[in-house]
A and B are shown apart, each in its own frame.
Chain A
């Protein structure tokens, strides 16, 4: 069965960086994009970007360009998301999600359990 297992909770100071990992199992890792979505407490879902594990190509929401990096280690079937220059408004639960489909129809069919990130001085 498809599973995405994320790393544990993080507490960071403003200006620092955080890296969250997402280990995939149950499918061929290089066949599907990994996306990252975040959710602040009591708020909605916000898409951050995608990464193609086969090519390493990435695409980011304009809001995060210049501050987010998405990488992978295929031998470990693990994807990583790093967010730099953290601010209090980056406090949220970060999810990885597998991409499915393409063209006019692309959605997220499996999700990790979420990683809480708290930014506080």
Chain B
């Protein structure tokens, strides 16, 4: 059972904007730990999409953006494209249970 909660699914038509939330608590995101986002295409390993809450690695399109505030974070996909259909996970660190890196519950993005 993850300590970071995401919506199970979001969907949008091509060109639309979708937002994925990642809700944590005072022992992880609220404790100033950064949030990172991963994209997992079907049958492949995860790939980092956003690191340090707001930064994009080279090669990641600028239609992906991240933000963090309080105990939560968000990933926004602007101008949704068919190839964005994938699972998305947030990740942070939690100070409970002797400290542990934690992933969100995951969100499936469907392009209508």
Residues of A within 8 A of B (CB): 35, 37, 44-47, 50, 59, 61-62, 95, 97, 100-101, 104-109, 111-114
Whether B99 and A47, one on each chain, are in contact in the complex, defined by CB atoms closer than 8 angstroms, is no
Question: Per a CB cutoff under 8 Å, which of B34, B57, B99 touches A59?
Answer: B99
Q: A95-B45, A101-B51, A101-B52 are in contact. Are A106 and B100 (CB under 8 A)?
A: no
Whether A107 and B97, one on each chain, are in contact in the complex, defined by CB atoms closer than 8 angstroms, is no
9 residue pairs, one from A and one from B, having the closest CB atoms: A105-B34, A107-B36, A111-B45, A45-B103, A44-B106, A47-B101, A62-B97, A107-B51, A61-B100
Cβ contacts A to B, 10 pairs, < 8 Å: A44-B103, A44-B106, A95-B45, A95-B46, A101-B34, A105-B34, A105-B52, A108-B38, A108-B46, A111-B47
Q: Which partner residue on chain A sits nearest B105 by CB separation? A: A44
Supply 15 further A-B pairs (C-beta < 8 A) apart from A44-B104, A107-B36, A107-B52.
A35-B101, A37-B103, A44-B103, A45-B89, A47-B102, A61-B97, A62-B97, A95-B45, A101-B51, A104-B32, A106-B101, A108-B38, A111-B46, A113-B45, A114-B45
Whether B33 and A104, one on each chain, are in contact in the complex, defined by CB atoms closer than 8 angstroms, is yes
Across-interface contacts of A45 in B (CB, < 8 A): 38, 46, 89, 91, 103, 106
For chain B, the count of residues having a C-beta within 8 Å of the partner chain is 27
Q: Scan B12-38; emit 1 where CB is below 8 A from any A CB, else 0.
A: 000000000000000000001110101
